[in-house]
Chain A
Amino acid sequence: MDIGDSPDEAAFRLEARTWLEQHAKRRDPSARHRPASTDAEQDAHAKACQDWQRVLYAGGWAGLTWPKQFGGRGGKPWQAAIFAEEQSKFDVSTGVFSVAHGMVAPTLMMHGDDRQRGHLDAMLRGDEVWAQLFSEPEAGSDLANLGTRAVLDGDQWVVNGQKVWTSGAQHSQYAILLARTDPDAPKHAGITYFIVDMRSPGIEVRPLRQITGVAHFNEVFLTDVRIPVENVVGEVNAGWKIAHTTLSNERALIGGSGGNAFTVPELIEMARRYHRTDDPVVRQGLAQAHIRAEILKYMGYGVRTSISRGVMPGPGASVMKLFFARHWAAVGSLAVAIEGAAGMLWGDSASDDGLWQQVFCQQYAIRIGGGTDEIQGNVIGERALGLPREPSLDRDLPWRETRGTKA
């Protein structure tokens, strides 16, 4: 067991920091970090992410733990942890590639064929942004109930249906897609996992304006979208298990994304500006936030270790995701409370350009997206504690029949 910086780690940290100093601007804790809200700001953010990803790739820092055969550096998880820690101190982001790097890539490494894995290098180069076409209006927590249909026509699948809560669809060149290919099988057994080109005819993206004022999510309508058969990942009708790999990595991704939107020192800095740090109750709230951020850091080491070994992060990812969601919610509430009456202001009228109000309102996206708090609770109960599954009425029935009774 080793938790501090060993000489190797210290040397790597210095190398990373030196390179970052040369290529990026340090993040100023007192500066404003409101997430991009308008379409123009979001486009600019996506472009900045792409530019930074290209700099990372050119410098040999992209895909630190990815195997060399996929264009990565073949490094150790501790290196990725140290680099992420150092990078978070700079004013850069790779956020637009979250789905590609954090969810699609681990899935394709594990389940994709050689041609499909060809996308990995393009993702690392910053050339491909990906989206995830999983959730539907009738398939949220019960994702396996999804009804988007794919029907084989010669050497192409023809897809019709609607997806929702699709992050960054407007910036994506590709997406992963779950569609029903056998409606007569039980719901988990008739789903296929596809790669779809987002520029295909028949795809329409409609942004959803959220409570935060940002249109991060979209609805995506698919009408007679044609997908070549070679874009099926794994076997036809065996997509559910592959989706698990993606979902497990999504939890780890969300749970490990601390520091992207705000840091605890920034929260303390804000409290200081409001002259609230002499209030012991406020100080204790800040201390709790600091404690949770430290715990997330430690838990991240373990989850990152399993991902880099090519194994599913398991219930640890659910623990982290749920813990992170609670941390985020508590920080949002604390921040707004610290600001007092000014906590009710919004956007340009609020301090820090409304960053803390954004954090406060964003808590529900964090708690619901990537599997709700309750779904994570189920995963922990079943996989960490070995509790029996909750009896399910529709698990073994043909999907078409269960859908029929609901309609």
Chain B
Amino acid sequence: MNFDLSDEQNVVKDLAQQIFEGHAPVERVKDIERNHGGFDEALWRELAKANLLGLCLPEALGGSGYGLVELCLLLEQQGRRVAPVPLWATVVLGALPIAEFGTDEQRALLEGVISGDVRLTAALSETGADEALRPSVVATRTATGWHLHGFKPTVPAAQFAQRVLVPARQEASAGDGPIGIFLVDPTAAGVTVEPVSATSNQPFAHLTLDVDVAAGDRLGGADADGEAQLRWLLERALVGLCALQLGVCTAAIEQTAAYTSTRTQFGKPLSTFQGVAHQAADAFILTEPMRVTMLQAAWRLMHGLSSRQEVLIAKYWASEGGQKVVHLCQHLHGGMGSDIDYPIHRYFLWGVQNETTLGAGSVQLARLGTLIASDAVGAAS
């Protein structure tokens, strides 16, 4: 019951902070967004050199063997600089499930992740109602493996990935078959990757699949429980977003405090007006719970404790609190908020991106409400 970081965790945090602060200055981020499709390859190399891409991957494969809490500290630092690298996609959506469930052959991909040569992602979103646990892609048996058919919208950084984890419904003779997660090469014939623009300027692509995959590309082998894998992956994906959001919000508030304390109107700094100061204080109050709920969820997942409620709580707060924070910070910057040469708008756009990805606050809240108060489920613990 102690939210203070250990010495080792502080080392991780400091190293991450140093790299993101050193390599993601505002001008660089702007250039990457405008001219390089939202992926800073040089920064990616720096992260690999510091072995931060392998931070929580197994030591046997060359990683550092840390856990989800340390990974969240890294993502928080990325969020602070809104740094354009597909860290969440590669490590959380791709490398973590492969390390946990992958066959030896699949785990061999992780050496490339650690060295910075391989990028991964997962196609979790569905069109319309965002119910990642009910994948619409269909997998049909073939002589040598599977045929995948379907459409996946807004896959993060798919245009930069060597493999995409695609959850699919395996066709059964009657009714719904089991879920399988398949490792798909996006450059294979039968896969169309269509890069799309996003308000946050982060890279996304729509994926159209009409492709054969080998039997050995099913995550964990033929008999693995794909639905359990998907639940496992989704919980970590949500907590990773919470960590990014925490970084986005803390940095946005610091910049807002600095801006309103130097911008003078009516002969005094804006922040000396209570109407301004109290909005900034509100943003701070919304951000502290983001930190404790994210750490609580990450810590429980890392230790294999039941975490369903804690993950919903963390994502609810990161979404609901997070969007309020970035709106407040945007507003308190006045006209500067809409000037894209000024950095604060990026925090606003990232904050809204994190809010809505894999279900906004209302989605998490509805799930938690059913969990704690529906008559069928019984009272909260």
Bound complex: CA A319 to CA B288 (Å): 8
Contact of B370 among A1, A283, A374 (CB under 8 A): A283
Chain B residues numbered 265-302 whose CB sits less than 8 Å from any CB in chain A: 268-269, 271-274, 277-278, 280-282, 284-285, 288-289, 292-293, 295-296, 299-300
Least Cβ–Cβ distance between B318 and chain A, in angstroms: 12
Contact, CB under 8 Å: A78 / B1: yes
B105 close to chain A: CB less than 8 A: no
A390 close to chain B: CB less than 8 A: yes
B27 close to chain A: CB less than 8 A: no
Who on chain A is nearest to B313 by CB? A291
Taken residue by residue from 244 to 275, chain B's Cβ proximity to chain A (1 for < 8 Å, 0 otherwise) reads as: 00000000011001001100000011011110
Contact, CB under 8 Å: B271 / A387: yes
Contact partners of A305 in chain B: CB under 8 A:
2, 4
Contact, CB under 8 Å: A298 / B375: no
A interface SS class: helix
B380 close to chain A: CB less than 8 A: yes
Q: How many chain-B residues does the 8 Å CB contact rule pick out?
A: 52
Bound complex: CA A319 to CA B2 (Å): 18
A120 close to chain B: CB less than 8 A: no
Instruction: Answer whether A380 and B365 are a contact pair too, CB < 8 Å, given A374-B274, A388-B272, A390-B272.
Output: no
Bound complex: CA A391 to CA B274 (Å): 11
Bound complex: CA A265 to CA B373 (Å): 9
The number of A-B residue pairs with CB atoms under 8 Å apart is: 161
B340 close to chain A: CB less than 8 A: no
Bound complex: CA A277 to CA B299 (Å): 31
Bound complex: CA A286 to CA B366 (Å): 10
Contact, CB under 8 Å: B278 / A377: yes
Contact, CB under 8 Å: B284 / A319: yes
Instruction: Answer whether A298 and B2 are a contact pair too, CB < 8 Å, given A377-B278, A388-B272.
Output: no
Contact, CB under 8 Å: B296 / A3: yes
Instruction: Answer whether A290 and B380 are a contact pair too, CB < 8 Å, given A3-B299, A319-B288.
Output: yes
Question: Which 10 residue pairs of A and B lie closest in terms of their CB atoms, listed nearest first?
Answer: A283-B369, A298-B292, A381-B277, A380-B281, A287-B369, A287-B368, A377-B278, A387-B271, A385-B257, A377-B281
Chain A residues near B (Cβ < 8 Å): 1-5, 9, 78, 81-82, 264-265, 268-269, 271-272, 277-278, 280, 282-284, 286-288, 290-291, 294-295, 298-299, 301-302, 305, 316, 319, 322-323, 374, 376-378, 380-381, 384-391
A to B CB contacts below 8 Å, 5 in the list: A1-B299, A278-B374, A284-B362, A381-B278, A385-B281
Chain B residues near A (Cβ < 8 Å): 1-6, 9, 69, 253-254, 257, 260-261, 268-269, 271-274, 277-278, 280-282, 284-285, 288-289, 292-293, 295-296, 299-300, 303, 305, 313, 316-317, 362, 365-366, 368-375, 379-380
Q: A322-B285, A377-B278 given; name 5 further pairs at CB < 8 Å.
A: A283-B369, A284-B362, A287-B369, A374-B278, A376-B281
